[in-house]
């Protein structure tokens, strides 16, 4: 018999009843150190007092009003994002997938309004993940995600993930008079913590400028402080035309945002897009508090320091367990352990050791803790990961 919850997830036999900071407590009272943070969502850990206060204050005042009215909480969050990024304007959604959908519409509309209705194609990259809607799976294009869901939305061209300058010629060749945009995650999350080299991001910017193509960064997973800068592309010293943000921005409350330059957004006039819930007062009150806390330079430099500390510990783990782990990758607190065993098995071993991690493609185990994880929890995490790796050696 089909379960009452549609079985689209292969769920772990764990259910949590409460969380505090980087810790989750299961139904049986056992505590787990959470290095997954809801897959990069709980940016400030569980039950952060400022977020709880902001949410409950706003809940007592006003949860929801339609976007047909002005929403001061939304305006405040948009102002904060505009002040702290390349963007001139912001549209709020409830999820990352919806940000992908708007980026596709915005890029096509831009060219349509500029007299180029033929510019509809979007260049995307192998290993990408942009969400689960029909448009977002077409954008990512992997067989695993699209199988059985055709016909797919046309208009996507898929290229090898750019690992260096040598790949630029292929990207240049793929940008034609029909191309409207290039979409890329500066660090692939689901794809296995694959960092696009800074010179590739700069090269993409130059190619897009030379061809009048819009550059779209999907920072749903790698943004919001995760790398030690507010957004990952900042390390490369350049900016996109459109950026997708979700996950961490709500700290656990469903919230996403499309950030854009005035030029890129110029086609999106009244009536061209909308959302019932996107940007409601409750979501935006929480989002503004998250952005305020995470964008503080002192907070971000702590993320970078903690990331370096965690990475060093993981390097030692690789050295101690060469039959289980191969290498460490990533930036800041978006870390990946390339495994020699199936990462899903390491995730399971982690359950026994009381530590939660997330598997990704390319045989990688993802480590995406709360950005404010205390140093002692990083030390404890390394002890528990060492224990989890030890199970494989005992079994061998
Ligand atoms: N883009 C990236 C890079 C993601 O990692 C995800 C989710 O994992 C999404 C888009 C889709 O976000 P959501 O699951 O909130 O729709």
Average pLDDT value for residue range 111-124 = 98
Average pLDDT value for residue range 91-117 = 98
Please report the pLDDT score of residue 162 as a whole number. 87
Average pLDDT value for residue range 134-152 = 95
Mean pLDDT of the chain: 97
Please report the atom of ligand 1 found closest to the CA of residue 99: 10
* CA atoms lying within 13 Å on the CB side of residue 382: 20
pLDDT at 396 over 80: no
Query: Do 190 and 130 meet the contact criterion of CB atoms below 8 Å apart?
Result: no
Please state, in angstroms and rounded to a whole number, the distance separating the CA atoms of residues 111 and 118: 8
Q: For ligand 1, atom 1, which residue shows the shortest CA distance?
A: 130
Q: What are the structural domains of the chain?
A: 16-34+297-395 (3.90.1150.10), 50-294 (3.40.640.10)
Q: What is the pTM of this model?
A: 0.98
Please state, in angstroms and rounded to a whole number, the distance separating the CA atoms of residues 240 and 214: 8
Banded pLDDT at 393 (limits 50, 70, 90): confident
Please report the atom of ligand 1 found closest to the CA of residue 133: 16
Q: What is the pLDDT of residues 278-292, one digit of tens each?
A: 999 999 999 999 999
Q: What is the pLDDT of residues 305-359, one digit of tens each?
A: 999 999 999 999 999 999 999 999 999 999 999 999 999 999 999 999 999 999 9
3-state secondary structure of 112: helix
Percentage of the residues of the chain whose pLDDT score is greater than 70: 100
Banded pLDDT at 253 (limits 50, 70, 90): very high
Is ligand 1 within 6 A of the CB of residue 96? yes
Distance of CA 107 from the midpoint of ligand 1 (Å): 19
Closest by CA position to 224, among listed 134, 350, 332, 150: 332
Q: What is the pLDDT of residues 39-74, one digit of tens each?
A: 999 999 999 999 999 999 999 999 999 999 999 999
User: For 369, left (φ over 0), alpha (ψ -120 to 50), or beta?
Assistant: beta
H-type alpha helices, the chain: 37-40, 49-61, 72-84, 96-113, 134-140, 143-146, 168-174, 198-211, 281-294, 297-320, 343-353, 375-395
Percentage of the residues of the chain whose pLDDT score is greater than 90: 96
3-state secondary structure of 13: coil
Q: Phi first, then psi: what are they for 25, rounded to 5°?
A: -110, 130
Query: Do 272 and 112 meet the contact criterion of CB atoms below 8 Å apart?
Result: no
The single residue listed with the structure tokens 């954008």 is 139
Please report the pLDDT score of residue 117 as a whole number. 98
Please report the pLDDT score of residue 112 as a whole number. 98
Please state, in angstroms and rounded to a whole number, the distance separating the CA atoms of residues 57 and 163: 47
Please state, in angstroms and rounded to a whole number, the distance separating the CA atoms of residues 393 and 344: 16
Is ligand 1 within 6 A of the CB of residue 131? yes
Q: For ligand 1, atom 10, which residue shows the shortest CA distance?
A: 130
Q: For ligand 1, atom 7, which residue shows the shortest CA distance?
A: 131
Please report the pLDDT score of residue 283 as a whole number. 98
Distance of CA 100 from the midpoint of ligand 1 (Å): 9
Query: Do 214 and 241 meet the contact criterion of CB atoms below 8 Å apart?
Result: yes
Distance of CA 383 from the midpoint of ligand 1 (Å): 30
Distance of CA 96 from the midpoint of ligand 1 (Å): 5
pLDDT at 166 over 80: no
């Amino acid at each position: 018999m089909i379960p009452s919850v549609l079985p689209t997830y292969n769920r772990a036999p764990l259910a949590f009843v409460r969380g505090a900071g980087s810790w989750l407590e299961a139904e049986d009272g056992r505590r787990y150190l959470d290095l997954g943070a809801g897959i990069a969502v709980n940016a400030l850990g569980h039950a952060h007092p400022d977020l709880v206060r902001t949410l409950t204050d706003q809940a007592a005042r006003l949860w929801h009003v339609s976007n047909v009215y002005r929403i001061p909480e939304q305006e405040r969050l948009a102002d904060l994002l505009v002040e702290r990024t390349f963007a001139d304007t912001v549209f709020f959604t409830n999820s990352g997938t919806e940000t992908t959908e708007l980026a596709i519409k915005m890029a096509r509309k831009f060219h349509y309004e500029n007299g180029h209705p033929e510019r509809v194609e979007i260049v995307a990259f192998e290993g990408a993940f942009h969400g689960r809607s029909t448009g977002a799976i077409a954008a990512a294009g992997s067989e695993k995600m699209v199988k059985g869901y055709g016909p797919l939305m046309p208009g996507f061209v898929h290229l090898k993930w750019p690992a260096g300058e040598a790949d630029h010629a292929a990207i240049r060749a793929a940008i034609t008079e029909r191309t409207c945009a290039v979409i890329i995650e500066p660090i692939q999350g689901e794809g296995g913590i694959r960092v696009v080299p800074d010179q590739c991001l700069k090269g993409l910017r130059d190619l897009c400028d030379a061809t009048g193509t819009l550059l779209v960064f999907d920072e749903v997973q790698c943004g919001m402080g995760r790398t030690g800068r507010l957004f990952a592309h900042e390390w490369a010293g350049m900016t996109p035309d459109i950026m997708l943000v979700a996950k961490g921005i709500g700290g656990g409350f469903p919230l996403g945002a499309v950030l854009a330059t005035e030029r890129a957004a110029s086609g999106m006039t009244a009536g061209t897009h909308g959302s019932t819930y996107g940007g409601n007062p409750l979501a935006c009150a929480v989002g503004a508090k998250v952005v305020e806390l995470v964008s503080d330079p002192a907070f971000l430099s702590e993320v970078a320091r903690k990331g370096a500390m965690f990475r060093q510990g993981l390097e030692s783990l690789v050295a101690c367990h060469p039959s289980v782990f191969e290498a460490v990758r990533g930036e800041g607190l978006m870390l990946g352990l390339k495994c020699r065993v199936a990462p899903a098995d390491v995730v399971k071993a982690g359950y026994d050791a009381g530590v939660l991690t997330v598997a990704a493609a390319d045989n990688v185990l993802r480590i995406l803790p709360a950005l404010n994880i205390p140093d002692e929890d990083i030390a404890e995490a390394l002890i528990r990961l060492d224990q989890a790796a030890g199970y494989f050696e005992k079994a061998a």
